[in-house]
């Protein structure tokens, strides 16, 4: 399918995301297919080891998804029914769902307007007698304020589990890679992530004992020696196949290039959409925050916020009419129907998150997006904002 633009040229549609897989991925996956060992073979340990080395950590446990990684991390942290876990409402729903899997309650706190990550002050204020831990998310690849959150956790004997599923390659101000601070941390390898295994995830474990526990729970609770009969604990099938590990090994080999491509695209978007002489239609458009304080983002998506009075969903429609895929990103988790019904959430509870989530728009972003395509997205966004109606000033936008 293609769409005709005003100048009569015909353009192929631009997707939101697309995995970057090439000859090396094909080679390693094919080699694995032909090896005759499709699960629990040598590539599992090889991938775990290579990933750990990349992060500068020691113990990792690869699993079937980022969600599985979050679930096993929370179990390893000791979450039990009736506990509360403080987390962010601006995330992919998996980070909250994993808390609910164990019968615990996600306590959503508002976000920092600049970084869009869990606001440590709000988190500190939400600690109560049932609070067991904190689950911050490094949203869109921007490092969450872990030093502040760890201080809150240490003072009250809470665990920290980091959802770093969108943040492979990001760094904290002290140079530590995100996910390598010694907390339980999770990464996800869905096809739109910085590194993909098709489906997959990994837990960064603080020590060998935690890895042993998670290795067992991902594999039906079996002993590490693969004893078939002694299942001495409840387990799951959260194994990652050898094919997925082979794909991950090939992706790790060129991770620097993949990350650099994303950084380049984010800079190109910021330059065009933030230019001093940008079209007037872009006035009021907010871009992802630049790095500050030494933290370094690893861009996962390019998410802008439309001006407060703009109709984001109409902008998505106007972009679609121009062959450009975009998404409302992300919806506030506490306002999803399951969370409203199960936990009694209402509109207006978390105003910063709700405002951001109402205005957020993810633009096409993936290694391989060409300069020409990026130009087209920016031009189309200006057109879309110009042609969609803006509401008259409302209470929230009036001075």
Ligand X SMILES: *Cc1c(COP(=O)(O)O)cnc(C)c1O
3-state secondary structure of 389: coil
CB of 98 to ligand X, least distance (A): 8
Helix 94-101 and helix 66-77: axis angle, to 10°?
40
By CB under 6 A, is residue 166 in contact with ligand X?
Answer: yes
Choice from 95, 131, 298, 388 touching ligand X (CB under 6 A)? 95
By CB under 6 A, is residue 204 in contact with ligand X?
Answer: no
By CB under 6 A, is residue 201 in contact with ligand X?
Answer: yes
Q: Tell me whether residue 21 or residue 314 sits nearer to ligand X (CB atom).
A: 21
Q: Tell me whether residue 159 or residue 187 sits nearer to ligand X (CB atom).
A: 187
Contact region with ligand X (CB under 6 A), list: 8-16, 59-67, 116-124, 152-160: 59-67
By CB under 6 A, is residue 162 in contact with ligand X?
Answer: no
Contact region with ligand X (CB under 6 A), list: 53-61, 65-73, 202-210, 385-393: 65-73
Helix 23-35 and helix 242-253: axis angle, to 10°?
150
By CB under 6 A, is residue 188 in contact with ligand X?
Answer: yes
By CB under 6 A, is residue 197 in contact with ligand X?
Answer: no
Burial 234-244 (b: 16+ CB within 10 A, else e): ebbebbbbbbb
Q: How far apart are CA 226 and CA 68, in angstroms?
A: 21
Q: Tell me whether residue 25 or residue 166 sits nearer to ligand X (CB atom).
A: 166
From the candidates 132, 193, 222, 345, give the one annotated as an active-site residue. 193
Q: How far apart are CA 136 and CA 167, in angstroms?
A: 12
CB of 300 to ligand X, least distance (A): 7
Q: Tell me whether residue 214 or residue 378 sits nearer to ligand X (CB atom).
A: 214
Beta carbons within 8 Å of 254's beta carbon, 6+ residues apart? 24
Beta carbons within 8 Å of 24's beta carbon, 6+ residues apart? 250, 253, 254
193 is catalytic: yes
Q: How far apart are CA 110 and CA 107, in angstroms?
A: 10
* Partner residues linked to 208 by β-bridges: none
Interactions with ligand X, residue window 294-323 (CB under 6 A): none
Q: How far is residue 151 from each of residues 142, 154, 292, measured CA to CA in Å?
A: 19, 5, 20
Contact region with ligand X (CB under 6 A), list: 160-168, 175-183, 203-211, 283-291: 160-168
Tokens of 124: 């500190």
Beta carbons within 8 Å of 233's beta carbon, 6+ residues apart? 216, 217, 221
Number of residues forming the site for ligand X (CB under 6 A): 14
By CB under 6 A, is residue 140 in contact with ligand X?
Answer: no
Catalytic residue list: 193
Residues that bind ligand X (CB under 6 A): 65-67, 91-92, 94-95, 137, 163, 165-166, 188, 190, 201
């Amino acid at each position: 399918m293609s769409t005709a633009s005003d100048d009569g040229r015909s353009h192929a549609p631009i997707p939101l995301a697309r995995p970057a897989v090439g000859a090396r991925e094909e080679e390693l996956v094919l080699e694995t297919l032909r090896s005759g060992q499709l699960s629990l073979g040598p590539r599992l340990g090889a991938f775990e080891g290579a990933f750990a080395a990349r992060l500068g950590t020691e113990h990792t446990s690869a699993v079937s998804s980022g969600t599985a990684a979050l679930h096993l991390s929370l179990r390893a942290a000791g979450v039990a029914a009736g506990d509360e876990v403080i987390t962010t409402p601006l995330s992919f729903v998996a980070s909250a769902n994993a808390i609910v899997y164990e019968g615990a309650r996600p306590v959503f706190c508002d976000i920092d307007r600049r970084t869009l990550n869990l606001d440590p002050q709000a988190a500190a204020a939400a600690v109560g007698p049932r609070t067991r831990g904190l689950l911050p998310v490094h949203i869109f690849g921007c490092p969450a304020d872990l030093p502040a959150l760890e201080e809150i956790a240490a003072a009250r004997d809470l665990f920290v589990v980091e959802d770093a599923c969108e943040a492979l390659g990001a760094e904290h101000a002290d140079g530590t890679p995100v996910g390598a601070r010694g907390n339980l941390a999770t990464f996800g390898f869905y096809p739109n992530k910085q590194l993909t295994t098709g489906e997959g995830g990994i837990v960064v474990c603080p020590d060998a004992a935690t890895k042993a526990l998670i290795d067992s729970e991902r594999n039906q609770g079996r002993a590490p020696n693969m004893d078939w009969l002694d299942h001495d604990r409840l387990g799951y099938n959260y194994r990652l196949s050898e094919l997925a590990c082979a794909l991950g090994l090939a992706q790790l080999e060129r991770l620097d290039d993949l990350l650099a491509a994303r950084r380049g695209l984010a800079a190109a978007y910021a330059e065009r959409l933030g230019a001093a002489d940008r079209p007037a239609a872009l006035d009021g458009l907010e871009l992802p925050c630049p790095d500050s304080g030494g933290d370094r983002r690893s861009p996962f998506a390019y998410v802008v916020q439309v001006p407060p009075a703009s109709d984001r969903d109409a902008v998505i429609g106007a972009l679609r009419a121009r062959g450009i895929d975009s998404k409302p990103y992300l919806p506030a988790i506490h306002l999803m129907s399951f969370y409203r019904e199960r936990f009694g959430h209402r509109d207006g509870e978390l105003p910063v998150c709700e405002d951001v989530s109402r205005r957020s728009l993810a633009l096409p972003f993936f290694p391989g997006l060409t300069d020409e395509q990026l130009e087209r997205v920016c031009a189309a966004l200006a057109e879309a904002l110009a042609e969609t109606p803006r509401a008259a000033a409302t209470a929230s936008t009036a001075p």
